[in-house]
Homo-oligomer: A and B are copies of this chain.
Amino acid sequence: MPTLPPLSGNMLIAQSGGPTAVINQTLVGAVLEARNHPEIKKVFGAMHGIQGILDENFVDLGKETPANLERVAQTPSSALGSVRKKPTAEDCAAIFEVLRKNDIRYFFYIGGNDSAETTHIIHEHARKAKFEFRCFHLCKTIDNDLRQNDHTPGFGSAAKFVACAFMGDNQDNRALGGVKINIIMGRHAGFLTAASALARVYPDDGPHLIYLPERPFSMDQFCEDVKKVMDKTGRCVVAVSEGVCDGKGTPIIAAFTKEVDSHGNIQLSGNGALGDLLADELKKRTGIRRVRADTFGYLQRSFPGLVSETDAAEAREVGASGVRFSVKEHENGSVAIQRKKTKKYGVDFVRVPLKSVAKDTRHMPAAHINKAGNDVTKAFVDYVTPIVGKLPEMGRLKNHPVK
């Protein structure tokens, strides 16, 4: 391991992008670890990500008690507030000036690939100005689409919510029959939609079909697939990623917009349009009468009291690792979760270059998707099971026949 010279100064941490159920674990992990290092003087939090840095809207996290920090760690969504702002190079220069002015020598930005890019650009400015500071990106995203990572903090808990929701919904569909379509978050990567497969306990359990953004979606094939399942079992639960696109890469909701609404005024997400479109088309084309659609929406990323314990512990460690790296080992980087190649599940928290995580996203590997493109493979289930952890037990009557 390289050993860095000691660097004394203040620390700043902020949160960015879509919240998760464990993003505060990472915040608290970093804040508590900083207390072990006398090099780190004051610990500031910026409100609403880079917007709070630009505005010098800081809070003093050094005055937080461990007990209150623990309560915050258990609470979903970004305690420091978040932002969706993608900074310009000028913003990054301004941000760097604020850091210099406040003697911030340790900077941590919790977020996804865009946040990694922000961190990277800020670091470039500091390098050019020969400002000595430590600059880290701390990974998070329920989409699980960060390069260099086996998986990302927030994904395991969101996946647990999705799996639990499908477990219950499968029971609901079993009781009343028909088709149930659930739309899951994940614009470009299907991991979260794929996690619905964990809901399967008995051989006839749903989801019976899973559609991912990694494979082109055909309305004809979808209707045919559902009909086949209905003919066989009399019911069908379907998981569909909000990001499914046709063969040309056009989002399905956009491809069909003209058929559903003549006002040309349809949003692509944050509403129930895709689920409603699929339900309507299915009814129209197959004559199946009971078709319902739910869009899980924001519940997936911020539901309290339903975290994966593995996810929570790893999110905490991402924060703590980042601080440890920054003090003694690395001048900059992104903290990545990489899986040990051992039989028993375990991970390493490693430092990877900022650039290697920034911008581009990661997709589900081909080995995780079945040939027909309407389900996941055992390889995916093996991959995701330890990340999600324990799920509720699903009981079923034995249906002993009456003589």
Contact = CB atoms under 8 A, between A and B. Distances in A.
Interface of A: 15, 19, 21, 24, 42, 44-45, 48, 58-64, 68, 70-84, 164-165, 167-169, 171-172, 174-176, 180, 260-263, 265, 267, 270-273, 275-276, 279-280, 292-299, 301-306, 391-403
B19 A175 contact: yes
A276 B280 contact: no
Nearest to A15: B175
Contacts of A83: 176
A74 B21 CA distance: 25
Q: How many copies does the complex hold?
A: 2
A347 to B, nearest CB: 25
A394 B58 CA distance: 22
Given A59-B401, A272-B271, A396 B171 contact: no
Nearest to A84: B176
B168 A302 contact: yes
A48 B19 CA distance: 41
A268 B261 CA distance: 17
A176 B60 contact: no
A260 B63 CA distance: 52
B294 A68 contact: no
A353 B382 CA distance: 54
Given A77-B171, A79-B397, A395-B79, A298 B292 contact: yes
Given A172-B77, A292-B298, A402 B58 contact: yes
B270 A292 contact: yes
Nearest to A62: B400
A299 B175 contact: no
Contact of A392 (B74, B270, B299): B74
Given A164-B306, A169-B299, A169-B302, 16 more contacts: A59-B401, A62-B400, A70-B395, A71-B396, A72-B396, A74-B393, A75-B393, A75-B396, A76-B171, A76-B172, A81-B174, A180-B298, A270-B279, A271-B276, A294-B298, A305-B306
Given A395-B68, A397-B64, A302 B78 contact: no
Given A63-B398, A81-B174, A397-B72, A293 B270 contact: yes
Given A59-B402, A398-B68, A294 B304 contact: no
Contacts of A260: 261, 263
7 contacts: A19-B171, A60-B402, A79-B396, A168-B303, A271-B276, A271-B293, A306-B306
Contacts of A279: 270-271
Nearest to A301: B172
A172 B81 CA distance: 9
Contact of A397 (B59, B84, B297, B304): B59
B164 A305 contact: yes
A392 B77 CA distance: 14
A395 B304 contact: no
The 3 A-B pairs of least Cβ separation, nearest first, read A272-B272, A71-B395, A77-B171
